Structure 1
């Protein structure tokens, strides 16, 4: 029968200072010593009873538990494994780490589960280290124990700490180094690594690694871009498949780009972007964010990249120098976003005519085209099945009973399929600064002519229309 009326026994009263002038030989002191001996004996007996009580509860759990408790350990271990974060990369992007600590939650259920969780190395392959872990020696031992439980399996590691860059020459503070040393000691097992730490932390860490052969994904995000001359890797050079770099220059990233198939880079110049493509011949997907101005006063050397299929280009400039130099004959997904305010035609037409890519999805955001320029551009990419444009702010005046004022939509709805014959998805969004609302009554007038009779040989296979503004979204799909 369970005991519910537990009382807290305070043992602090056992601590006292004796002022006996007879050095504890008086009768009262002798009696007190005898009582203390009995108390210590009782405490020892109680500890033994509690251990037996715990063991008996474990036995009862096996005797009376549900079926899950009677499963073989190897089956339970497999079930536990499904609790581990299989989408660790996505969690790192959203900075949600709850599932990473599933092993601790499982171990807190009962002794059997704890022993089983501790003995399942797959539960300990994801490690998240935040700022409180640094400069606390006891946390270093916890990290070492966590790593040891993963045995020899590959590790996914996320480290995030913000420190002032003023100590860059001296490296990280001494109090922070034991944890970085613990991480470098297991570098041979790094697989997915996301380091959101200052530049001098990165340099200290990579100077001490001894093996990076297992790295698949490498995210380096120091936050503040350093213009200092240095090479991040010293001796051991990683050769990952996926790279994310934010706050670092290309010349500082002296990694092996020959196996990189996916890359994201912030704040690169046009020259750095082109050099990245030259260094990464098997690159298939690339996201370039806040691309800067070209530093060259002469035309850039042209370059053809045969493998790139997906390119997202976000620039503070028009990017004309970049698109004048690059040719991408196998591009299937292309997104162009003029960072900040809208601009005129970024001269994409020559790029498309030169590349003749089998483009499937085209996004042109924060770009203002004349109807003639947009028509010519879309005629150069007839394979596009998904088009996403930033909507003109005067579109809100459209009415379901009036003719479209927007010439592109009017042409798209009334003309044969001389442009976008394969269009299946049409998507519009307002620029964030326009604060324009599209009345719901306009939707039918915009969409109905596009969803023409399927028997018409001139009909586009349009199935989906999407619209998004700062305060509303809607989605229409033809069935």
Structure 2
């Protein structure tokens, strides 16, 4: 392959190495840079580059002048805010931007969605860009700057980003900080700035209140963040999502001593099996974690109340751990971790996406027997093949008050099977679900009509009790799992009459659609009323 000058495309086979390195001229029939003499075309090219740079600089100066003039014009036309007390102006600004996430909202988003919905700070930045007086108000109000959002990669990160983050932190005063970061792996020469960013956040680690980190960066950055986390003595909610083995050796040290204020912990990805003692931890979410690590976290958190485990990774022969404090457990995927737990205080259990096997009878039922717990709420979702095991499960949990079924495919089969299980036991001493108060059923597919025979098969055994023990069912709720077109036309007049009959029995019968969020029964009643008024 021939070697050419990068600009003038002159063939360089006959030049030596030093001449090739200096050859950058465009368009000459003979590369004159080999004789240290630029050609005319090269000179004109360089002059054009110079004019472009001068034009860019002039444009930037003109834009700066225009912004200054716009700011001055806005300030002259500010007839209200500039006359208000600073405290009131700050309050107006505070109401104009999205509120900070609370610990409960932080926990709920990560538990339900496994991700955090970032709130863009653009609205806040626009407030400071209006004029000088608005900027003085915005920059002097620390409450506006207590949330820090960082979504970047080494490819686009620059020193100006670090400076901007430092200024943001300075404007937040000494308030607790909510820090949300997404750092993605795209390597360039700017990777050193990730170290600078982590160190910058580490300078205020004692002010971290909520911290969320999602990263696909190499392990060295995880180790550095873990060392900064050691200083986060006041953090209440911490979430870490990684796409690789991120700082395996450092996180065991990083979590040491974080038990005083940490109340919510979310771990997803592949870190080391971390043994940490969290005296005040009340909620834990583990996703793609080992069973051993999840059990260790629960065993060392004496105040733990709620636990969500998704897609555990390993199995072992460890004995079951007795944990008295847990009241709510949410499992997604394999329930094998139940083989290593004994939860006598458990009152709420959610199972979803169980594998199509005997896992319910082989794992869940022995866990209930071993724990001796009395559930009050039970949800099982996206299942089709374990309905036959409900009978024994219900007998083991006579205290059950709230039941939610979310089958994966069918609309009616699981509900009708439940009616069959309940019907034979209405008048027997071995009554199933004697304390049931609420039944929720999610229709995965929208039915063409309301299956009233099936509904009555469920309702009548629950409500028409000739014996002394009366099942206190007060609510039946059906949820449309898919978008419902024209929800106001879903029910007919005879459907509304049947619903009214249930209401006369003291049962609140509800049908709601998730997309759009609407009360279907109320929409149908309004629609029927309009039809009657119009005479149609």
Q: TM-score range by the shorter chain?
A: 0.7 to 0.9
What is the 5 A alignment of 1:118-133? 118-132=139-153
- Cα gap change, 1:127/1:280 in structure 2, threshold over 3 Å: closer, same or farther? same
Which of 133, 136, 140 is the equivalent residue of 1:115?
Answer: 136
Give the match's secondary structure for 2:451. helix
Where does residue 219 of structure 1 map in the other structure?
A: 239
Q: Please state whether the residue corresponding to 1:130 is helix, strand or coil.
A: strand
* Aligned-residue offset at 1:326: 1.9
**Post-superposition shift, 1:53?**
9.8
Aligned counterpart for 1:202 among listed residues 212, 219, 222: 222
2:435 is matched with which residue? 422
> Aligned pair in 2 of structure 1 residues 422, 368: CA closer, same or farther (>3 Å)?
same
How far is the alpha carbon of 1:54 from its aligned partner? Answer: 6.3
How far residue 470 of structure 1 moved from its aligned partner, in angstroms, is: 6.0
Q: How does 1:32-431 map to 2 (within 5 A)?
A: 58=75, 61-62=78-79, 65=80, 70-82=83-95, 83-87=97-101, 89=106, 95-132=116-153, 135-163=157-185, 173-197=191-215, 198=217, 199-208=219-228, 211-225=231-245, 231-234=251-254, 237-239=257-259, 240-249=262-271, 251=273, 253-296=274-317, 300-316=318-334, 318-319=335-336, 322-339=337-354, 341=356, 343-344=358-359, 345-365=361-381, 366=383, 368-369=385-386, 371=388, 373-391=389-407, 406-413=416-423, 415-416=425-426, 418-429=431-442
> Quick check: 1:461 aligned with 2:487?
no
Between Structure 1 and Structure 2, which shows a larger proportion of helix residues? 2
How far did 1:387 drift?
1.5
- Residue 194 of structure 1, CA deviation: 0.4
Kindly provide the CA deviation profile for residues 118-154 of structure 1, in whole angstroms up to 9, marking residues without a partner as x. Answer: 1000000100111157630111100000000001111
SS in 2 for 1:357: coil
Alpha-carbon distance, 1:74 to partner: 0.8
Distance apart, 1:73 and its partner CA: 1.3
| Deviation at residue 202 of structure 1 after TM alignment | 1.8
Question: Under a length normalisation based on structure 1, what TM-score does the superposition of the two structures give?
Answer: 0.72
Task: Kindly report the root-mean-square deviation, in angstroms, between the aligned alpha carbons of the 2 structures.
Answer: 3.8
Measured in 2, the distance between the counterparts of 1:248 and 1:272 equals 11
Assess, with a 3 A threshold, how the Cα gap between structure 1 residues 225 and 342 changes in structure 2: closer, same or farther.
Answer: farther
Unaligned runs of at least 5 residues, structure 1: 1-42, 399-403, 431-435
Aligned length, in residue pairs = 405
Q: Under a length normalisation based on structure 2, what TM-score does the superposition of the two structures give?
A: 0.65
Alignment partners' CA distance in 2, 1:91 and 1:425: 25
What secondary structure is seen at the aligned counterpart in 2 of 1:114? helix
C-alpha displacement at 1:52, in angstroms? 9.9
CA-CA distance at 1:56 after TM superposition: 7.9
1:203 touches 1:232 (CA, 8 Å); kept in 2?
no
Residues 129, 113 of structure 1: alpha-carbon distance in 2 compared, 3 angstrom cutoff = same
- 1:262 shift after superposition: 0.8
CA distance in 2, matches of 1:219, 1:148: 24
Please tell me whether the aligned partners of residues 203 and 233 of structure 1 are also in contact (alpha carbons under 8 angstroms).
no
Q: Is the 8 A contact 1:127 1:155 kept in 2?
A: yes
What is the DSSP-based 3-state SS (H/G/I as helix, E as strand, rest coil) of the residue aligned with 2:130? coil
